[in-house]
């Protein structure tokens, strides 16, 4: 019998796809563009410093890509098969659980792996510039490959454990947050509130960020053992998740589990997620009278708690950094970093929630059923807006207030440029509100037009968050390079702050108004377009 037959078949199928080759080319071109931007921005500096900055920039982008790989490639691969009822057919043969899990893992992640491998030659360019050592390069490559596998394993486990709607995506985020963030959070809390101990750094081993930091020579020379232990722990955790998924998948494909113990756990999960029968009736009575779609999109209880937990984790990160680095509570660099982290976190989360709700309903056919009822487009849009407000309003208000308080406290302690910091805080708050409004309209539009929920979220984030950031970086680099050729003085901080603000605002207006007008003019036609295309092809 052929060993791992599904893996071999899926690899042969993937090798015949054009996307397998085009993705490698596009990722390599993206890495060259990022490296080129960094080179132009620091072209006047020493060659070794320039090489180190290019390496750090490319490694950072590649690391984020590896962390997001699980959600993008494997978080819904098995759960989709369960929803369509095709997973059980595989177990009518002599296939085992590991055959199915490893086959799906190979099929869904091959393109992503090729994209990561395409970055490696670009990542080696700083070696020729003298910015990094051979050890730093190969250790970073090892960390990236290990993180990529760890993220895929987390995605495949969450896909095995859940099947309903968007459950696998939420479970993948929760597992990743637990495995990566729990150890550093406990270690930071122990350092801040208790007496320091030498064993606390071991809690950081499951976090891939810790291994990435230790891969640089400055940290590796004194903590080589910690680096290899962190890599080993992360790798073992990845294989444990794959093994657990292989054990579970033959027993979770049924629509109705056969043993009462399984039914009990399913009922407990459903009760925790949606509440008991009395709680659900009270929620339905309260929200259904306001808006039917509002109730449909707000049934899950843990999402609201998750938004507050994310805010608490960011505040905990700020406390740990201020304690470890002995910063003042309103240190300028710490305040700016915390504000950027909060904004990116909640904007990305808001984009995902705004786009994937309708995309998932459309994929499952639920949106077609909704549009066959007396509900109109305005009711659905208003219900989605109310659901997002219920989920994010409290944490966002608290986050913005904390950002403004910290910004004004930092400005009050600064001897110079206090006005700059206050203006930056005000424009950041205004841009935050404008981005959220644009993300709402663009997210719904992409949810109706994209191929899948993941494509919808990526298209929304690309248009509202990534495009203005790339445009700002390109303009800033070109202006800085031009100013360096013509001599000082160059543009001051007011110019760059205004450039960032107006680029973001114009992007929000361009994409947001287009999505708003499209939804008002033809929501029903756009929502049913894919269904009509599928029926016509049949």
Q: How far apart are CA 370 and CA 297, in angstroms?
A: 13
Task: Identify the CA nearest to 71 among candidates 149, 172, 142, 141.
Answer: 172
Mean pLDDT of the chain: 78
Which 8-state DSSP code applies to residue 203? G
Q: How far apart are CA 341 and CA 352, in angstroms?
A: 17
Q: Find all residues with CB under 8 Å of 169, minimum gap 6, and list them.
A: 71, 75, 76, 158, 356, 453
For residue range 387-401, list pLDDT tens digits in order: 899 888 888 888 888
Cβ count near 497 (within 10 Å) = 15
Q: What was the pLDDT predicted at 139?
A: 92
Residue 127, both tokens: 């070696």
Q: What was the pLDDT predicted at 149?
A: 92
Distances (CA, A) of 453 to 224, 379, 520: 42, 22, 22
Q: In the structure, what pLDDT confidence band is assigned to residue 442 with cuts at 50, 70 and 90?
A: very high
Q: Is the pLDDT of residue 230 over 60?
A: yes
Q: For 365-417, where are the alpha helices, taking DSSP H only?
A: 366-371, 377-413
For residues 484 and 44, the answer to whether their CB atoms sit within 8 Å is yes
Cβ count near 538 (within 10 Å) = 5
Q: For 215-301, where are the alpha helices, taking DSSP H only?
A: 217-220, 224-248, 260-274, 277-288, 292-297
Higher pLDDT, residue 476 or 120: 120
Q: What was the pLDDT predicted at 99?
A: 78
Higher pLDDT, residue 232 or 181: 232
Q: In the structure, what pLDDT confidence band is assigned to residue 533 with cuts at 50, 70 and 90?
A: low
Q: What percent of the chain has pLDDT over 90?
A: 11
For residue range 3-14, list pLDDT tens digits in order: 566 666 667 776
Higher pLDDT, residue 63 or 415: 63
For residues 358 and 500, the answer to whether their CB atoms sit within 8 Å is no
The pTM of this model reads 0.68
């Amino acid at each position: 019998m052929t060993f791992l037959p599904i893996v071999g078949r899926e690899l042969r199928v993937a090798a015949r796809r054009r996307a397998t080759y085009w993705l490698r080319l596009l990722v390599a071109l993206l890495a060259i563009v990022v490296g080129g931007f960094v080179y132009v921005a620091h072209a006047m500096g020493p060659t070794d410093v320039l090489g180190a900055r290019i390496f750090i920039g490319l490694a950072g982008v590649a690391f984020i890509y590896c962390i997001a790989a699980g959600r993008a490639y494997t978080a819904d691969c098995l759960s989709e098969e369960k929803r369509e009822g095709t997973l059980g057919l595989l177990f009518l043969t002599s296939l085992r659980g590991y055959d199915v899990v490893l086959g799906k893992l190979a099929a869904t992640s091959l393109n992503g792996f090729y994209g990561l491998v395409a970055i490696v030659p670009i990542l080696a360019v700083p070696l020729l510039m003298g910015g990094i050592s051979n050890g730093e390069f190969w250790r970073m490559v090892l960390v990236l490959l290990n993180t990529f596998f760890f993220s895929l394993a987390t995605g495949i486990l969450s896909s095995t454990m859940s099947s309903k709607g968007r459950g696998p995506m939420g479970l993948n985020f929760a597992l990743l947050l637990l495995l990566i963030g729990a150890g550093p959070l406990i270690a930071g809390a122990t350092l801040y509130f208790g007496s320091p101990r030498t064993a606390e750094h071991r809690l950081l081993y499951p976090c891939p960020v810790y291994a990435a930091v230790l891969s640089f020579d400055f940290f590796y020379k004194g903590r080589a053992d910690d680096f290899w232990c962190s890599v080993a722990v992360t790798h073992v955790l990845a294989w444990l998740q794959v093994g657990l998924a292989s054990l579970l998948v033959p027993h979770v494909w049924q629509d109705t589990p056969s043993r009462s113990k399984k039914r009990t756990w399913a009922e407990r999960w459903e009760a925790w997620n949606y509440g008991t029968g009395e709680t659900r009736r009270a929620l339905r009575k309260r929200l259904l009278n306001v808006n039917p779609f509002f109730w449909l999109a707000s049934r899950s209880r843990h999402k609201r708690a998750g938004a507050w937990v994310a805010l608490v984790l960011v505040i905990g990160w700020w406390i740990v950094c201020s304690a470890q680095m002995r910063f003042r509570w309103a240190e300028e660099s710490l305040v700016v970093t915390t504000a950027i982290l909060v904004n990116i976190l909640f904007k990305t989360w808001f984009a995902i929630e705004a786009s994937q709700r309708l995309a998932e309903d459309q994929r499952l056919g639920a949106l077609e059923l909704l549009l066959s009822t007396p509900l109109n487009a305005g009711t659905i849009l208003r219900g989605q807006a109310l659901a997002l407000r219920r989920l994010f309003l409290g944490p966002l208000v608290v986050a913005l207030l904390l950002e403004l308080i910290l910004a004004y406290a930092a400005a009050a302690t600064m001897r110079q440029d206090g006005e700059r910091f206050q203006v930056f805080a005000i424009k950041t708050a205004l841009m935050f509100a404008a981005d959220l409004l644009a993300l709402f309209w663009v997210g719904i539009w992409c949810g109706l037009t994209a191929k899948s929920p993941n494509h919808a979220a990526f298209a929304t984030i690309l248009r509202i968050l990534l495009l203005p950031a790339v445009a700002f970086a390109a303009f800033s680099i070109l202006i800085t390079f031009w100013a360096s050729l013509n001599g000082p003085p160059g543009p001051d901080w007011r110019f760059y702050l205004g450039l960032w603000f107006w680029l973001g605002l114009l992007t929000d207006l361009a994409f947001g108004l287009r999505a708003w007008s499209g939804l008002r003019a033809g929501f029903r036609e756009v929502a049913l377009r894919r269904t009509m295309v599928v029926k016509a092809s049949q």
